[in-house]
Structure 1
Amino acid sequence: MFFFKSIPLGLLVLCLLHHSAIGASPLYHFCFSPENYTADSPYGANLNSLFNLLYTKVPPTGFGLGSTGQAKNKVNGLALCRGDVSRKDCNTCVVDASKELRERCPYRKGAIIWYDHCLLKYSDVSFFGQIDSRNRFYMWNVQEVENGTLFNEKVKELLSGLSNKASEANQKLYATGEVQLDTLTTLYGIAQCTRDLSGVDCKKCLDSAISELPNCCDAKRGGRVVGGSCNVGYELYPIVNT
């Protein structure tokens, strides 16, 4: 069971009750453009071409962007797979994401969708190289830790280090790490940006996301801030494939 609460500027708060709730289903999506296109229009044909382009470009490296069409019918898009995801699973996620967006945002000129393994975004407005601070949502585990103040400090310390690591001399703009809290407990973290951002903007995006964790995930056993340009997360179990 999930709890949802809409808030302004396309920001969504999502309460994650347990990890098994995330499977092959989308985490969330936004149909953010107020503009529509019509069936059999040039924009629709260009969107199809863009999706076909991303199917080809994304899986080999886990990221791809592109534009198709001209002037008012031009479509811009990108897709990003989580840094540890295999080429096969990346391809599957991008294909599923494009199909799901068609169903959830029919004829909308701009939309974004997130899965555990990938995100896909397209728009009639050029957005490459710009931090997307509008499309964002939170996820958290409803269970709390005992010493919340100390735990929160450890979370911030781990994720701040991963922000530095992901944005400095890292072509994938991706980093994972862990810290031992005690003999039985390990804290795991992840940070990732879309690769159209510069290293400076990646860090800016990640640091902003980290600063929002207290708003959603104070003393929670797990939490994420997920956006259109970057995401951070932590859990008390391994997050990625090794």
Structure 2
Amino acid sequence: MSLIYKILLLLALCSCNADAADPLGNFCNLNTNISRVSQISVNIDRLLAELVSKTSSNGYIATSFGRGDDQVFGLAQCRGDVSSTDCSSCIQDAAKLIRQRCPKQADSRIWYDYCFLRYNNKSFAGEVDTSVGIFYFNVGTVTDPENFNKQLGALMDEIRARAVEPKNEGLGKGDTKLSSLVTLYALVQCTRDLSQIDCAQCLAIAVGNFETICSNRKGCRVLYSSCYVRYELYPFFYPLDSNSTVADNGRAIVYP
């Protein structure tokens, strides 16, 4: 039986992006509590060591450690546009912090701007998981919602189509001019364990939140365990657009 977690957190306005070293959020499934001295806990530590050592080589790894009822499964993936150095640093931070924040849970997940990491004592490979998510949205609204939403929809359709092409390994990114001075940037990514159809399904669910949670907002991020979507009116993915001067505005976060 799937669980739906609803927690609402509204943050004060901020004038800058969260640092790449700071997590965007985490989830500790309290229904999977274990002892810190159990074999599962020991296997989690060994699994994390493997994720840290191997993820940066190609930006992704899905593996397991242990046997039988004590086996644990893990996945780590970096954002497809970041360097191997930034990927390695992010996964190291994620592996360290997730054990601090979820010391007794066998099902735990942590999201950063540059990477995502999760583990569970049940296999989850190839399954679309949108049961837990994080939503960031810019508190500023656009001045021409009709044109903005039309352009956003077209850009999202374009990069979602790119993401499901096998050669792109779940990543799609792009930009479009809204005016001579304003450019819209967007990026989507699925975890690489998903099939093309499942990736498309996850991205469709994520983008579906734009109309409700991020309606007419200047920026939005939706992060699930299986996929990630984001758009902004400033460059946020690599290589950065050096011609843009649009600054980040304050934003709020919804964390269900």
Instruction: State the TM-score, normalizing by the size of structure 2.
Output: 0.87
2:4 is aligned with what amino acid? L
Q: 8 Å contact 1:11–1:136 — kept in the other structure? A: no
Change (3 A) 1:98 1:11: farther
Q: How does 1:109-148 map to 2 (within 5 A)?
A: 109-148=106-145
1:183 maps to 2:180: yes
Aligned-pair CA distance for 1:40: 2.3
Q: CA deviation at 1:56?
A: 2.1
Q: Which has the higher helix share?
A: 1
Say if 2:85 is the partner of 1:74.
no
SS in 2 for 1:102: helix
| Unmatched runs of 5 consecutive residues or more in structure 2 | 240-256
* 1:85 counterpart SS class: coil
With over 3 angstroms needed to count, the CA separation of the structure-2 counterparts of 1:193 and 1:110, relative to structure 1, is: same
Deviations 1:63-87 (A, max 9, x none): 1111001122111010110111111
Q: Which residue of 2 aligns with 1:46?
A: 43
Q: State the match for 1:168 in structure 2.
A: 165
- Residue 158 of structure 1 pairs with residue 158 of structure 2: no
1:15 CA displacement: 5.8
CA deviations 1:22-42 (Å, max 9, x no partner) are: 112110111125122212221
Once the two structures are TM-superposed, the CA of residue 11 in structure 1 deviates from its matched residue by 5.1
Change (3 A) 1:190 1:15: farther
Q: Take 2:238 and 2:54, find their aligned partners in 1: how far apart are those partners?
A: 22
Question: Please, what TM-score do these two structures have when normalized by structure 1?
Answer: 0.92
Contact 1:12 1:138 in 2 (8 A): no
Q: 1:237 to 1:12 in 2, by over 3 A?
A: farther
**Letter matched to residue 141 of structure 1:** N
Structure 1 gaps, min length 5: 1-7
1:10 counterpart letter in structure 2 = Y
2:226, 2:159 → 1: CA distance? Answer: 16
What residue number does 1:3 align with?
A: none
Give the corresponding residue for 2:4. 9
**Matched-pair contact (CA < 8 Å) for 2:25–2:112:** yes
Q: Does structure 2 conserve the Cα–Cα contact (< 8 Å) formed by 1:223 and 1:234?
A: yes
Choose between structure 1 and 2 for higher RCO, CA contacts under 8 A separated by at least 6 residues: 2
Q: CA RMSD in A?
A: 1.6
Identity of aligned residues (%): 37
Mapped contact 1:191–1:231 kept (Cα < 8 A)? yes
- Name the counterpart of 1:239: 236
Which residue among 222, 226, 240 is the counterpart of 1:225? 222
The equivalent of 2:103 in structure 1 is 106
Residues 142, 148 of structure 2: 8 Å contact kept: yes
For 1:22, the equivalent position in structure 2 comes to: 18
Alpha-carbon distance in structure 2 between the residues aligned to 1:176 and 1:123? 30
Q: Which residue of 2 aligns with 1:87?
A: 84
User: 1:13·1:139 contact (CA, 8 Å) conserved in 2?
Assistant: no
Secondary structure of 2:187 counterpart: strand
| CA drift at 1:149 | 2.1
Aligned length: 235
Q: Does the CA contact (< 8 Å) of 1:18 and 1:141 recur in 2?
A: no
CA distance in 1, matches of 2:161, 2:65: 34
Counterpart CA distance in 1 for 2:18 and 2:124 is 28
Question: 1:143-175 CA deviation, whole Å, 9 max, x = no partner?
Answer: 111011221121121112111110123342101
Give SS of 1:112's match.
Answer: strand
* CA distance 1:171–1:180, shift in 2 (3 Å): closer
| Aligned position for 1:198 | 195
Preserved CA contact (<8 Å) 2:162 2:168:
no
CA contact (8 A) 1:160 1:210 kept: no
| Residue pair 2:141, 2:217 contacting (<8 A) in 1 also | yes
